[in-house]
Structure 1
């Protein structure tokens, strides 16, 4: 099943992690699909959006993050079951109970340094490929939150994932980030690369002529395959990134215009995914029951 999507832009500050959060919670709560979020950013932004700080810190202290999985598999050559690192009961949305997380840790950057030092790039890509092959069969959608820039690990995700989505702000610097990414993708085509699912215009200022001009310019390039729905810059979406200790409904977290925009974009993403994959109708098996439990 082709259902893994790497979300990245070489430029930071484009609202990537918040967008991953919104898509994941909408796909789970609104569409009832099993969603896995893989946090591959050392800042662990989306991890902290999906659980309490104390719960995340405990997982990091207990060695139960993507860093620990990759360290064991790549650097130590150990055989470890990936479901042990998958966390259930994440998200403060009460009806997003089919959302799961592979959390991150700031030590991820150090892991990449060790991989480069030991010249284990090929092994890292092999392990990433094996992981994705495993989770593809269990979850309906796999969203990979990649850090900005083009690190060794990010390249592995981009070469092993089925698709990539590129969020961008409608400004010059962010658009330049897309161009850097496009040039990188053109290098070494024989090594394989994720298929472009489309560019998402994020954090768009509704009253900005400049934002509107850049948006139209992005849409004019068919290579971008821009999604029709842009996500507006609104305080409600920024508030959604703050994990709450109490559960709230999906519509309370994504109200009004921002909720409508997120749901419309999610519909587009799922429609494109179905179109590219032939709209497979098979239902994946339920997520592993022995996944970790986050006391979010």
Structure 2
């Protein structure tokens, strides 16, 4: 089943990691799916949203992050079992117990430099492909939090993942980021690329004529496959990014309008993934009329 989704925009500041968090916790809590979040951002934002800072630092100190996995596989040629790097019992939402994490570390940037220095781009993509092949078999949904920009590692995810989602703010600069991404996707088509699952308008300002205009413009372009549900800019969603040391219910973390919007968007995402995996029915040729 095609179930891996790279989430990225070449422009930063579009609320990408917070959106990955919300989607992951909602898919786990409301759809009952086993979800793996792969944190491929050196800032480790979504990792720190899913566990305490001290727990994350402990994993980083022990060499138990995606950096260490890729370093061993790509740079040292070691045989390493990826399940050893998967963290369970993450998230402070008591309804989201089927959520797992492959955490990140700031050393990820240095790893990419070493890969480029040693000209191991092909090997990195091969390892990423093997990793995704493995996790697809175990988890129902795999969400990959990619950093902004088009790094060597991000390109590997985009070429090996099944789908990509592009969050954007409804403003000129963020929309320009989508255009940069679109042009990049058109390069070297023979190398393969994730299928566009859609554009998500995130952090939309209520009662903003400008935001509404950009939203309509994005929806009008069929190539965007824009999701109908936008995510509003609200303090509750920003607060959701702060990991709590105690468990709370999903509705406590995503109350009111925010929770309603996130659940509606998640329903759309899951519906599109299901539709893309449905077997295609070929139209039959009409029977020839008898003489």
| Alignment match, 1:46 | 46
- The equivalences for 1:1-296 within 5 A come to 1-278=1-278
How far off its partner does 1:76 sit?
Answer: 0.2
Q: Deviations over 1:102-129 (max 9, x none)?
A: 0000000000000000000000000000
1:78 deviates by 0.1
Structure 1 residue 206: deviation in Å?
A: 1.1
The 2-side partners of 1:206 and 1:107 are apart by 38
Cα distance per residue 1:211-269 (max 9 Å; x no partner): 00000000010000000000000000000000000100001000000000000000000
Q: Which has the higher contact order (CA 8 A, sep 6+)?
A: 1
| TM-score using structure 1 length | 0.94
Q: Whole-Å Cα distance in 1 between the matches of residues 242 and 52 of structure 2?
A: 9
- The aligned counterpart of 2:283 is none
Partner SS for 1:126: helix
Runs of 4+ in 1 over 6 A off after TM superposition: none
Post-superposition offset of 1:53: 0.2
- Listed as ranges, the gaps of 5+ residues in structure 1 are 280-296
2: CA distance, partners of 1:7 / 1:95:
23
Structure 2: distance between partners of 1:48 and 1:30: 23
Deviations 1:187-217 (A, max 9, x none): 0000000000000000000110000000000
SS across alignment from 1:87: coil
TM-aligned CA deviation for residue 185 of structure 1: 0.1
Using the TM superposition, give the Cα deviation of residue 176 of structure 1 relative to its aligned residue in structure 2, in angstroms. 0.2
Distance 2:11 2:106 in 1: 19
Following the alignment from structure 1 to structure 2, what is the Cα–Cα distance between the partners of residues 65 and 246? 24
Could you report, residue by residue, the CA deviation over 1:158-191 in whole angstroms, capped at 9, with x for unpaired residues? 0000000000000000000000000000000000
TM-score (norm 2): 0.96
Q: State the shift of 1:30 in Å.
A: 1.1
DSSP 3-state at the match of 1:137: helix
